[in-house]
């Protein structure tokens, strides 16, 4: 059946659009003609985890998925900043103050609930009809509008300075890269998101996702 909801465990190093292209090619070979395929929200190339694709007539249902809450696992590197908020940018060492766990816990509490967040310039958000990351790559100066998002829960999984591993349940539109940077700024040492993995979108779980390799064969 062409009309599918496809759960993919996106590998690192590939764009979400690249994943869509691979799945589209596979379905074309399977059915002998072009099949429409779209995503319901991207993941950054460095990130891994749950990506929901829709095919055929189901592509019309994308809006039903866009506003769903999400759960992420993230590794934050304290003491350094990145020009993109992730490992793909220019990394600069900023501080080496060894922060105790209590200070981390107190800081994370300040980010729980409804907060104002300014999305990163290296993102797919459109500014005057153009993707922000394209403007940023050209070195153009522009302002990203802030937005209200909700951080329902942040759980510390592991901490040994400078590595902080967290699991967070957030509303749609929340950028974990920005959250990592804001945490680092609040602590006064800087930070960026070293690793990011999306675990859930609404009730859809990474445990039920397929590896992309399945769609690399025709």
Distance CA 167, CA 20 (A): 27
As a whole number of angstroms, the distance between CA 189 and CA 161 comes to: 11
DSSP state, 93? E
The confidence score (pLDDT) of residue 129 equals 66
Q: Which pLDDT value is given to residue 97?
A: 83
Contact predicate 171/152, CB 8 Å = yes
Contact 184, 192 (CB under 8 A): yes
Total-model pTM? 0.90
Check residue 176 and give its pLDDT. 96
Residue 97: CB atoms within 10 Å: 13
CATH class, range 5-67+202-215: alpha beta
SS3 17: helix
- Would you say the CATH fold of 70-200 matches that of 5-67+202-215? yes
**How high is the pLDDT of residue 118?**
79
Provide block-wise average pLDDT over 10 residues at a time, the chain (218 residues): 94 94 94 93 93 96 93 97 91 88 96 88 62 63 78 97 97 94 95 98 97 82
Q: What's the CATH fold of domain 70-200?
A: Pseudouridine synthase (3.30.2350)
* Residue 149, pLDDT score: 95
User: Rg of the Cα trace of the chain?
Assistant: 18
| pLDDT value at residue 190 | 95
User: What's the pLDDT at 120?
Assistant: 65
**Tell me, what's the pLDDT at 169?**
98
Catalytically active residues, by annotation:
44
Every domain of the chain and the residues it spans: 5-67+202-215, 70-200
- Enumerate the β-bridge partners of residue 49: 10, 198
- Check residue 41 and give its pLDDT: 87
């Amino acid at each position: 059946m062409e009309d599918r909801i496809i759960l993919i465990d996106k590998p690192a190093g590939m764009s979400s659009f690249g994943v869509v292209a691979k799945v589209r090619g596979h379905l074309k070979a399977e059915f002998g003609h072009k099949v429409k395929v779209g995503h319901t929200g991207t993941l950054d190339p460095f990130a891994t985890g749950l990506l929901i694709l829709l095919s055929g007539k189901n592509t019309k249902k994308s809006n039903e998925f866009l506003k769903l809450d999400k759960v992420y696992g993230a590794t934050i590197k304290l003491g350094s900043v990145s020009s993109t908020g992730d490992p793909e940018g220019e990394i600069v060492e900023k501080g080496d103050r060894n922060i105790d766990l209590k200070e981390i816990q107190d800081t994370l509490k300040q980010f729980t609930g409804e907060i104002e967040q300014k999305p990163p310039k290296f993102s797919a958000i459109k500014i005057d009809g153009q993707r922000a990351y394209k403007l940023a790559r050209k070195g153009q100066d522009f302002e990203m509008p802030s937005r209200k998002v909700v951080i329902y829960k942040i759980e510390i999984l592991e901490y040994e300075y400078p590595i902080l591993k967290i699991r967070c349940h957030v509303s749609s539109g929340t950028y974990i890269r920005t959250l990592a940077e804001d945490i680092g700024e609040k602590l006064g040492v800087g930070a960026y998101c070293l690793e990011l993995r999306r675990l859930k979108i609404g009730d859809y779980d990474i445990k039920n996702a397929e590896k992309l390799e399945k769609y690399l064969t025709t």
